[in-house]
Amino acid sequence: MNVRNIVKDEEELRKIIGHPSELVNNKVINDLDQNCVTFIQQSPFLTLATSDQNGCTDVSPRGDYPGFVHVLDQNHIIIPERPGNKRLDSLTNILTNSGVGIIFFIPGMGETLRINGNASIVTDEELLEPMSFRGNMPLVGIVVEVKECFIHCAKALKRSKLWEPSSWKRKEELPSAAKMIAEHAGLPNLNEEQVEKRLQKSYKDRLY
C-alpha cells in the first residue's frame, strides 16, 4: 500500500493540529491526590499499554470489582494479575521495558483517568493477600510508580456512545469471538462450537 503525505516531525504536526490550551498543559500532576484515589477506587476496568525492548506495543484489558487496583501511597498502585490465557504479553514486556500507560474507566462516566509510569512485577504476599478474592490470592501483582496522572476529556466516549445502550447492537449482530478464534487458530478438530464451550467454561470456572 502506498501511503502518501506522511507527517515527519512535531513541527509539521503542530502546524496541522495546533497547541494545547493552558488548562490542558497544567492539568498533569506527578502523584496521586485524593481525586485520583477516589477515581481508582470506583473503577472496575482499565487498559494497560506496555512495550517490549524493541518498541513493539501491546494493550491489555484488566477488570474486576470496583477498586480492584489498590493505591499503596501517593506514587504507587498495584494491579492484581488474575488468571488469563498465560500469554503474559504485558508481564514479559515489563521485564524488559518498565514504561507503562494506563487508562481507568468508570461505567457511565465519559472522562477517564490516565496514568503513565514505570512498572515492576512483585510476588510480595503482604501486598497480594489484600487483593485475594473468593480465597484466591493473585500469584503476582504489577506495581506502578506513577510519573504522570491526569483526567482525559469525554469526547471519545461521547462520539462512540460507549455507555449508551440505545446505540448497542443486538447480540446476534455482534461478531462471534468463538468463530474468530477457531478460524484464526486453524487447529484440526476444533470448531466454533467447541471453542464456545471452552470459553464459557473458562468464564464460569476460571475467573479467579
Give 177-194 pLDDT, tens digit per residue.
999 999 999 999 999 999
Q: Which one-letter amino acid corresponds to residue 208?
A: Y
Q: What gap in Å lies between CA 37 and CA 40, rounded to an integer?
A: 5
Cβ atoms of residues 140 and 91 within 8 Å? yes
Give the C-alpha separation, 68 to 31, whole Å.
19
Average pLDDT estimate for 29-54: 98
What pLDDT shows up at residue 82?
Answer: 96
Between the two ends of the chain, the Cα-to-Cα distance in Å is 44
Q: Where in the chain do CATH 2.30.110.10 domains reside?
A: 12-160
Query: Is the CATH number of domain 12-160 2.30.110.10?
Result: yes
What percent of the chain clears pLDDT 90, i.e. is strictly above it? 100
**Which percentage of the chain shows pLDDT scores above 70?**
100
Instruction: Give the closest residue to 63 by CA, choosing from 114, 102, 21.
Output: 102
